[in-house]
Amino acid sequence: MRQYVLIAALVVGVLPFWMGPLVAADSTMIELAAPRQAERGDSVELQIKTGPLPRGARLTLSTEDGASLGAVTPYPQGRQSNTATVPVPRSAIIDGRLRLRLQVLEPGAPARAPRPSEVQRLDLVVAPRSE
């Protein structure tokens, strides 16, 4: 039976730790390290556990150069916690690292970096894909 491999699991409520020099006014950049390269036949997924987001808000995820990876829009609106999955192209992992931009978009407000309570956990998961 194939084993699923957890590459990297980051962070429970320590978002400020990521910030420092990587902080932008309207987004947060984080870097996840991969202990090994995903092989042919593997898929890479990013699992994101979010806390409460303002009504109508969504968390967007993109690579450093702006390529969109996906978004977390809790359904129903107002859900207190959500664990979503976003596929990550293997090409987005460069030199064993995924540099990830996180941004919260909410109606009637400027885009902003997520607050610590809003992103509670990030896991990069490598799993065999169906092919």
Partner 1 sequence: MTQSFYTAMTRRRFLSTSAAALAANAMSSGAPAQGATFRRWEISDPGMPPRVLDSYKKGIREMLNRAATDPRNWYRNAFIHIFDCPHQNWWFLAWHRAYIGWLEATIREFSGDTQFALPYWDWTKTPRVPAAMFDDVLDPNNAAFIPTFQQFNAQFDAPVTALWATFSQAQKDVLAQRGLSSTADFWSAVAAAPAGMFFEQPAARGLSRVSPDLDRTTQGTVSLPIIRSALRTANFAGSESGTDAAGFASAKASSHNDQSREGILESQPHDNVHGAMGGPAGNAFMVSFLSPVDPIFFLHHGNLDRLWDVWTRRQAALGRPTLPQGADLTAWSSEQFLFFSDPNGQPVAKTSASDYAAMSVFDYDYSPGSGEDQVPAPGPAVAALPVTQAFSAQITSATIGASAPAGGVVQVPAAALAPSAPQAPPRVAEVTLNLGPTDQGRRFRVLVSPEGGAPIEAGGITIFSHHVHGPTTFTVPLPENLGVTAAGPAANVPLDIRVVPLEQAPGAAPSTRFRATATSPQVAKITVRTN
Here the tokens at position 105 are: 């978009």
Q: How far is the CB of 20 from partner 1 (least distance, A)?
A: 21
Calpha distance 93→99 (Å, rounded) = 8
Report the relative pairing of strands 42-50 and 82-88 from DSSP bridges: antiparallel
Calpha distance 10→102 (Å, rounded) = 14
Among 20, 21, 76, 95, binds partner 1 (CB under 8 A): 76
26 contributes a contact to partner 1 by CB under 8 A:
yes
Nearer to partner 1 (CB atom), residue 30 or residue 61: 61
Calpha distance 125→94 (Å, rounded) = 16
Calpha distance 27→5 (Å, rounded) = 29
# of chain residues touching partner 1 (CB under 8 A): 50
28 contributes a contact to partner 1 by CB under 8 A:
no
123 contributes a contact to partner 1 by CB under 8 A:
yes
Among 11-19, 30-38, 82-90, which window interacts with partner 1 (CB under 8 A)? 82-90
Query: Which of 30, 33, 46 is CA-nearest to residue 101?
Result: 30
Among 83, 94, 96, 117, binds partner 1 (CB under 8 A): 83
Place of tokens 């400027």: 110
Binding site for partner 1 (CB under 8 A): 4, 6, 26, 40-41, 43, 45, 47, 55-58, 60, 63, 65-68, 70-77, 81-87, 89-91, 103, 105-108, 110-111, 123, 125, 127-131
